[in-house]
Amino acid sequence: MTDITSPPGRWHYGLHPDAAGLRVRSLARIVLQLGEALRVEMEDDRGSDDSIALQYYIATDAGTWALWLTTTPADLATDEASIKDLAPLTDGE
């Protein structure tokens, strides 16, 4: 289980700072160990393959979290794996 007091890997709390200037490439509702999430994948208007902006909105028992990351297609699977490993703390942890 990953410590949920700080975002995993290269992820950041809050809204993606470039979101207003990006185009949504995909939007999906997914289920994570931590709770249901909205996954938003964005790119610049030129459709560049250089970077992908991801935004996750995760509904947890402790409230809603917003996490963001800018990554590359080559690193996408590894970066998203760290989000999928997040799990709620159990009693006694």
Considering Cα of 56, then 59, then 60, then 65, what sign does the dihedral take? Answer: positive
CA separation for the pair 58, 45 (Å, rounded)? 26
Categorise residue 63: left if φ over 0, alpha if ψ from -120 to 50, beta otherwise: left
Per-residue confidence (pLDDT) for residue 10, from 0 to 100: 85
pTM (2 d.p.): 0.81
- In the chain, where the domains are located: 10-61
DSSP-derived letter for residue 65 is: E
Q: What is the per-residue pLDDT for 6?
A: 66
pLDDT tens-digit map of 30-80: 999 888 999 999 988 766 668 899 999 998 887 888 999 999 999 999 999
Read off the pLDDT of residues 11-38 as tens digits, 9 standing for 90 and up: 899 999 988 889 999 999 999 988 899 9
Pick the closest to residue 30 from 39, 42, 41 (CA basis).
Answer: 39
Judged against a pLDDT cut of 90, whether residue 83 lies above it is answered with no
Residue 65, strand partner residues: 58
